[in-house]
Amino acid sequence: MNLRSYIRPFPGSFGRCCSMGWVLLSLIALASSGCAKGALWRLGYLSPQARQQWADEEKIAKTWPTIRSEMTALVDQAKVSSSADQQRVAARLSEMIQKDDRVLVRLHATELLGELDPATALSAVAAATQDRESDVRVAACRVYGKMKTDDALTQLNAVLQREQQPDVQIAAVRAIGQFKDPRAAQILQFALDSEQPALQLAAADSLKSITGQKFGNDIPKWQEYVASLGPADTSLPTNPVNHASHEQPDEVRSFVNSIKR
């Protein structure tokens, strides 16, 4: 859709207000489909038409609100169940992240991993850091920040160094700031030496939280301080793979099969 073709010029500030109004109305109209994928998928829930469409589609197949509710309920049940149940649910969430073409499903699956035991969910989160959608990779960084384990910190370091998208790098830096660990400060040397000012400032904010030092946004001071800590141990965990059993209880198998339709 060419928005310019729907905007008539008006003189002065009145014209600018009218033009902005048309733009906003056009964006709302574009969001009305409420799809679980596409450029404006975040806006679907704002539209009454989208919610009505979901209700109509529910008569034919499960819609995103229903799928989301069932995913959440499955994880809530696993949290109060055995470790084996958590492992099986983590394996299924990992499968969704790797195979489902709906960004909302992959995003929610990643966020739900943060509710499970870190040792169980680690490799599933690692799969999310490889997702083609940057929002999913950002969510994975946030989950690692919640975990606060040595392996999670090591994985965040790997994300920080290999990522090309600044928003994901910044998410990794902010997640590293959740660790009260000298190694976390050492790892942030990479961000401090970046040529991206936004990444450097994010690193300074995280370092304030980690170290309690008060250098503000003085990047050279932070670089000097972190250098005094020595080099970071950046080795990856020797075996980050989740060896959970893939044998599925009936309720898990039924749920996974239902969302594939």
The fourth-level CATH superfamily of domain 64-228 is: Leucine-rich Repeat Variant (1.25.10.10)
Task: Output 163 or 51, whichever has higher pLDDT.
Answer: 163
The pLDDT value recorded for residue 117 is 94
Quick: pLDDT tens for 106-153: 999 999 999 999 999 999 999 999 999 999 999 999 999 999 999 999
Measure the CA–CA gap between 103 and 128, rounded to whole angstroms.
11
Alpha helix (H) residue ranges in 44-164: 48-57, 64-79, 83-99, 103-113, 118-128, 134-147, 150-162
In the prediction, which pLDDT does 14 show?
46
| The two structure tokens encoding residue 29 | 């109209």
Instruction: Name residues whose C-beta falls within 8 Å of residue 86's C-beta, 6 or more positions apart in sequence.
Output: 78, 79, 116, 117, 120
How many CA atoms within 13 Å lie on the side-chain side of 62? 16
Q: How far lies 72's CA from each of 41, 109, 218, 221, in Å? A: 20, 9, 43, 45
Model confidence pLDDT, tens digit, residues 53-99: 656 555 556 788 889 999 999 999 999 999 999 999 999 999 999 99
- pLDDT given for residue 26 in this prediction: 52
Residue 128: both structure tokens together: 């999310």
Q: In this predicted model, which residue has the larger pLDDT, 149 or 14?
A: 149
What pLDDT sits at residue 137?
A: 97
- Answer yes or no: pTM beyond 0.75: no
Q: Tell me the domain boundaries of the chain.
A: 3-57, 64-228
Q: Give the span between the Cα atoms of 154 and 99, in whole angstroms.
A: 25
Least confident of 64-68, 97-101, 166-170, 177-181: 64-68
Predicted pLDDT at 195: 94
- Give residue-wise pLDDT tens across range 183-222: 999 999 999 999 999 999 999 999 999 999 999 999 999 9
Question: Which of 12-26, 45-59, 163-177, 232-246 is predicted most confidently?
Answer: 163-177
Among the residue ranges 25-29, 96-100, 173-177, the one predicted with the least confidence is: 25-29
> Rounded mean pLDDT of 31-60?
56
Q: Please, what is the end-to-end C-alpha distance for the chain in angstroms? A: 31
